[in-house]
Amino acid sequence: MSNKNAIETTKNFFAAWENNTPPQIVVPRYKLYYDADGHPLLYTMEEIEGNYIDIDRETYVLASNRVRVVDGRLRFLKSKTTVKKLVPNQPNGTACDPRDVCMVVDQTPNVKWKIKIDEYD
């Protein structure tokens, strides 16, 4: 490269450097869109139609469905312990063979079962 080309390249570099505008820093807005009852619909950073509240990054990353929006504020629901148990329910349960609950049958004799769900705080 000739000396003239090197000087021209250096001038072009400094001209571009002086005209360079600094990049704009965009602060992301994390949003939780919710329905009329306050149930979460969508965690996003996009602008779409609907009710939303601004949330912090940690809540956005967590993206929990165990929340509700009440009076424009985010409320976390308590965790519950759920216990499911198979119990006899003669009038309207699922008919099973009396010797094996895993065998679903439609003839008699049978024992009818249903799943009972208990929740504890």
Whole-model pTM: value is 0.53
> Strand, helix or coil at 58?
helix
How far apart are the C-alpha atoms of 119 and 121, rounded to whole Å? 7
Q: What are the residue ranges spanned by the domains of the chain?
A: 30-76, 81-120
Burial of residue 69, with CB atoms counted within 10 A of its CB: 0-12 exposed, 13-18 middle, 19 or more buried: buried
pLDDT digits (tens), the chain, 121 positions: 567 787 888 888 888 777 777 778 888 999 999 999 999 999 999 999 999 999 999 999 999 999 999 999 999 988 777 888 888 887 788 888 888 888 888 877 888 888 888 877 5
Indicate the residue type of 38: G
Tokens 């809540």, residue located: 59
First to last CA, the chain: 78
